[in-house]
């Protein structure tokens, strides 16, 4: 997206909300501009393409007012270590981390910290020059980030994509004798493309192998065991995500041949019949007939004028395969919703197996496989995987080929930056899978709620960062979390902060957004939402107003919500084993939600957020941005707001600030008199609500 630089304030930039939404940042996030990264939020700008940058932001980006620049959305990891210029830090490291929490940092940046964050009594803002980082590129400051001065380091870190080596500063490099004992181990073998595509699909591979073992058995086990006739299985998943590899690996395990039917040049039903008839008549057991990309002929955009004939041909094909022992059919399709219902509901295809888009780990392995024979220089596979959400295996290969063209003439090693640039110029075939939001604040902006934050950390962050803790006790992490309580108690706010702390993409969904009067559309919306979350894993899928989306079945006059509940049950049960996708729901009325969703194994963790206590309201007053005058007693204000939610307290402060502006256009602080007036107004409203 192209913007024009305009003067603003540090440290957060502002831009038009519509353009940010088009970039996939409806609530703001991190963007790359010039030679740095900045946090940007929706704001009021005089021109639609204006980007309001403060002086420090302009200096770091090396841009000037009025300059046209290209801005790109960025997904950054948490920084582990930041080294700043100087012999010692100008303040307490904890104060510096608290001031910079959530701030994107790039080597060479100047970081400005307001004096109010410092506990050493300084009255002047300080500036820090970033000279080194780990990871070596851009990252955001998190709670675990360590910040040190350049002259105060006792250890230097040499980072590679595989491991981190450490030796004291100034120490001599190991001698040849030292490095020869013991002998270095051979470099690890890069995974093949098939191995990378099948990583994490052990359960799908096991299921496919079982079906093929049954249907292609030499003993004709279905007839011997008195089982009903079955032709095969439906296999759905985005193109280039491992369908062919899964069938090939399962057939290899069962010692069956694979006969793949090519539909690329099929433009008429007669041609389709010729291909399928030849496959049935010329194959001998044990054989798997794999018909891939079936939507090309049987989907909405396929041979639509001949849809009835195509469906009839496919039904004949399934009957023919079912009557021939030792032959199995696997029909590959991007989505079963695109096929005729007479095919998907056929008893000859009793099972549909789904392959998810490549997640973070699979994309990392795919990059490693694609770059296995390419001369490279210290590639950061984790960074490439994080920047390629929505990419299929074919997209990753295309990006690597594109990056290789930049070094083909010079024969120089390929760098991470070159591959990242190629990734950004490659359109993902799974582009409908949004990257989600990356919230800009963490738990430090959540007042109180210590028990809630701890339980969310245990249920969400631990499974992502320390899965071995659950494995050693023989338990599985919870699949779903339900937050319930009165309106305005911070349910949505705390989940956004949780996504920031976990470093996960955030997918918010309002309950009513998925409801559609047309048959099947609501269920498809549910499936697509889960698919987007899996494509951008690690991610948090958040359903707000969940009682509107999944009420008790039979309680509504429409059958739409009943179908949505059924789709949710299917998807939530399928979340297990997908890794790094957490489903969180929020509701003001837990009693209205269908009980099947609330049992163990689904939304089993129930966390209540009641009206905040006095201590929590007092904590909120400490972190709000409203400037209070010397006459304001925050302890008394926290006491006087008894019975109010966080939203009520925030609204009260907004009302007091507006009253201050009405009385004095140049006022810089909110006084007690304005707060008293707002208390009278809000106190009466809260009492009426109660």
Closest CA to 55 of 100, 13, 99, 10: 10
CATH (one of 2.40.50.100, 3.40.50.300, 1.20.20.10, 1.10.8.60) for 360-424: 1.10.8.60
CA distance 141 to 374: 33
- pLDDT given at position 409: 85
CATH (one of 2.70.98.30, 1.10.1840.10, 1.10.8.60, 2.60.120.680) for 614-689: 1.10.8.60
CA distance 406 to 6: 34
Closest CA to 543 of 586, 491, 502: 586
Q: Mapping DSSP to helix (H, G, I), strand (E, B) and coil, where does residue 183 land?
A: coil
- pLDDT given at position 87: 83
CATH number of 443-449+473-605: 3.40.50.300
Please enumerate in sequence order all residues whose Cβ is within 8 A of that of 655, keeping only pairs 6 or more positions apart, or say none.
677, 678, 681, 682
Longest CA pairwise span in the chain (Å): 92
Model confidence at 562, pLDDT cuts 50, 70, 90, reads: confident
pLDDT at 458 exceeding the cut of 80: yes
pLDDT digits (tens, 9 = 90+) for 323-368: 999 999 999 988 787 777 788 888 999 988 888 777 777 888 889 8
| Contact status, residue 480 vs residue 459, Cβ threshold 8 Å | no
pLDDT digits (tens, 9 = 90+) for 597-654: 888 878 888 998 888 888 888 888 888 888 888 888 888 888 888 888 888 888 888 8
| Contact status, residue 589 vs residue 555, Cβ threshold 8 Å | no
Model confidence at 289, pLDDT cuts 50, 70, 90, reads: very high
Q: Do domains 360-424 and 614-689 have the same CATH topology?
A: yes
Mean pLDDT, the chain, integer: 81
Among the ranges 143-157, 320-334, 672-686, which has the highest mean pLDDT value?
320-334
- pLDDT given at position 685: 62
Residues in the chain: 690
Report how far apart, in Å, the C-alpha atoms of 423 and of each of 36, 347, 455 are.
19, 43, 37
CATH T-level assignment (fold) for domain 2-73: Barwin-like endoglucanases (2.40.40)
CA distance 118 to 475: 44
Please enumerate in sequence order all residues whose Cβ is within 8 A of that of 359, keeping only pairs 6 or more positions apart, or say none.
200, 534, 535, 537, 578, 579, 580
pLDDT at 270 exceeding the cut of 90: no
* ∠ Cα 666 672 675 (to 5°): 90
Model confidence at 437, pLDDT cuts 50, 70, 90, reads: low
CA distance 429 to 355: 15
Is the pLDDT higher at 166 or at 521?
Answer: 521
CA distance 278 to 383: 47
pLDDT at 283 exceeding the cut of 80: yes
Phi, psi (deg, nearest 5) at residue 669: -140, 150
- pLDDT given at position 174: 45
Closest CA to 445 of 654, 143, 56: 143
> What average pLDDT does range 389-397 have in this prediction?
82
CB atoms within 10 A of CB 583: 24
CATH number of 81-160: 3.10.330.10
Is the pLDDT higher at 675 or at 439?
Answer: 675
- pLDDT given at position 106: 92
Report how far apart, in Å, the C-alpha atoms of 540 and of each of 238, 479, 566 are.
21, 11, 21
Is the pLDDT higher at 676 or at 574?
Answer: 676
- pLDDT given at position 408: 86
Percent of the chain whose pLDDT exceeds 70 = 86
Buried b (16+ CB within 10 A) or exposed e, 122-141: eeeebebebebbbbebbbbb
> What average pLDDT does range 269-289 have in this prediction?
90
| Contact status, residue 130 vs residue 108, Cβ threshold 8 Å | yes
- pLDDT given at position 363: 84
- pLDDT given at position 331: 93
Model confidence at 176, pLDDT cuts 50, 70, 90, reads: very low
pLDDT at 258 exceeding the cut of 90: yes
pLDDT digits (tens, 9 = 90+) for 212-237: 999 999 888 888 899 998 999 999 88
CA distance 524 to 545: 19
Closest CA to 593 of 542, 543, 550: 550
Could you tell me the residue ranges of all domains in the chain? 2-73, 81-160, 195-354, 360-424, 443-449+473-605, 614-689
CATH T-level assignment (fold) for domain 195-354: Rossmann fold (3.40.50)
Phi, psi (deg, nearest 5) at residue 507: -115, 95
pLDDT digits (tens, 9 = 90+) for 73-88: 887 777 888 999 888 8
Model confidence at 317, pLDDT cuts 50, 70, 90, reads: very high
Residue 61 bridge partners (DSSP): none
| Contact status, residue 513 vs residue 615, Cβ threshold 8 Å | no
């Amino acid at each position: 997206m192209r913007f024009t630089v305009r003067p603003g304030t540090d440290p957060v930039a502002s831009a038009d909300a519509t353009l940010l939404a088009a970039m996939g940042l409806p609530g703001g996030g991190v963007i790359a501009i010039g030679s740095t990264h900045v946090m940007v939020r929706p704001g009021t700008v005089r021109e639609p393409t204006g980007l309001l940058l403060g002086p420090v932001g302009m200096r770091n980006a090396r841009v000037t007012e009025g300059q046209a620049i290209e801005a790109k959305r960025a997904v950054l990891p948490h920084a582990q270590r930041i080294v700043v210029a100087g012999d010692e830090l100008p303040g307490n490291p904890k104060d510096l981390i608290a001031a910079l929490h959530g701030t994107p940092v790039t080597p060479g940046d100047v970081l400005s910290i307001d004096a109010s964050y410092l506990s050493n009594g300084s009255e002047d803002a300080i500036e820090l020059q970033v000279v080194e980082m780990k990871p070596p590129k851009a990252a955001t400051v998190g709670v675990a980030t360590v910040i040190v001065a350049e002259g105060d380091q006792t250890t230097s870190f040499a980072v590679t994509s595989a491991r981190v080596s450490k030796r004291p500063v100034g120490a001599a490099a190991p001698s040849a004798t030292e490095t020869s004992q013991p002998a270095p181990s051979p470099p690890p073998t890069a995974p093949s493309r098939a191995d990378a595509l099948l990583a994490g699909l052990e359960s799908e591979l096991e299921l496919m192998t079982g079906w093929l073992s049954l249907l292609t058995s030499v003993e004709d086990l279905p007839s011997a065991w008195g089982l009903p006739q079955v032709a095969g299985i439906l296999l759905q998943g985005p193109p280039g995500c491992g369908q062919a590899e899964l069938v090939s690996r399962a057939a290899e395990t069962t010692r069956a041949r694979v006969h793949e039917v090519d539909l690329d040049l099929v433009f008429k039903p007669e041609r389709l019949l010729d291909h399928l008839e030849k496959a049935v008549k010329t194959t001998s057991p044990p054989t798997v007939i794999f018909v891939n990309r079936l939507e090309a002929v049987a989907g909405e955009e396929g041979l639509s004028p001949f849809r009835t004939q195509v469906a009839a041909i496919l039904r004949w094909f399934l009957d023919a395969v079912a009557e021939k022992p030792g032959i199995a059919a696997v029909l590959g399709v991007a989505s079963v919703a695109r096929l005729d219902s007479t095919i998907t509901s056929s008893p000859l295809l009793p099972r549909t197996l789904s392959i998810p888009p490549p997640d973070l780990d699979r994309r990392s392995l795919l990059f490693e496989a694609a770059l296995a024979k390419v001369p490279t220089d210290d590639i950061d596979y984790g960074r490439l995987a994080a920047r390629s959400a929505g990419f299929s295996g074919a997209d990753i290969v295309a990006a690597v080929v594109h990056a290789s063209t930049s070094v083909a003439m010079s024969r120089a090693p390929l760098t991470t930056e070159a591959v990242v640039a190629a990734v950004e110029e490659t359109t993902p075939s799974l582009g409908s899978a949004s990257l989600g939001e990356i919230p800009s604040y963490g738990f430090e902006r959540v007042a109180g709620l210590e028990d809630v934050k701890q339980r969310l950390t245990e249920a969400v962050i631990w499974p992502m960062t320390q899965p071995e803790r659950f494995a050693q006790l023989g338990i599985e992490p919870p699949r779903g979390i339900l937050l319930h309580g009165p309106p305005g108690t911070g349910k949505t706010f705390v989940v956004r902060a949780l996504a920031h702390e976990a470093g996960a993409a955030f997918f918010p969904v309002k309950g009513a957004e998925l409801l559609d009067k047309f048959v099947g559309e609501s269920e498809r919306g549910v499936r697509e939402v889960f698919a987007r979350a899996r494509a951008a894993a690690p991610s948090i899928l958040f359903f707000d107003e969940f009682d509107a989306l999944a009420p008790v079945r039979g309680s509504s006059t429409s059958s739409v919500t009943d179908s949505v509940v059924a789709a949710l049950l299917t998807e939530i049960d399928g979340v297990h084993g997908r890794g790094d996708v957490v489903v969180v729901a929020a509701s003001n009325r837990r009693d209205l939600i269908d009980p099947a969703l609330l049992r163990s194994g689904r939304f089993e963790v129930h966390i209540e957020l009641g009206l905040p206590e006095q201590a929590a309201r007092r904590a909120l007053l400490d972190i709000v941005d409203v400037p209070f005058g010397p006459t304001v007693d925050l302890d008394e204000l926290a006491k006087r707001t008894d019975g109010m939610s966080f939203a009520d307290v925030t609204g009260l402060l907004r009302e007091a600030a507006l009253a201050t502006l009405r009385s004095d256009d140049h006022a810089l602080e909110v006084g007690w008199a304005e707060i008293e007036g707002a208390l009278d107004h809000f106190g009466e409203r809260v009492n009426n609500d109660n």
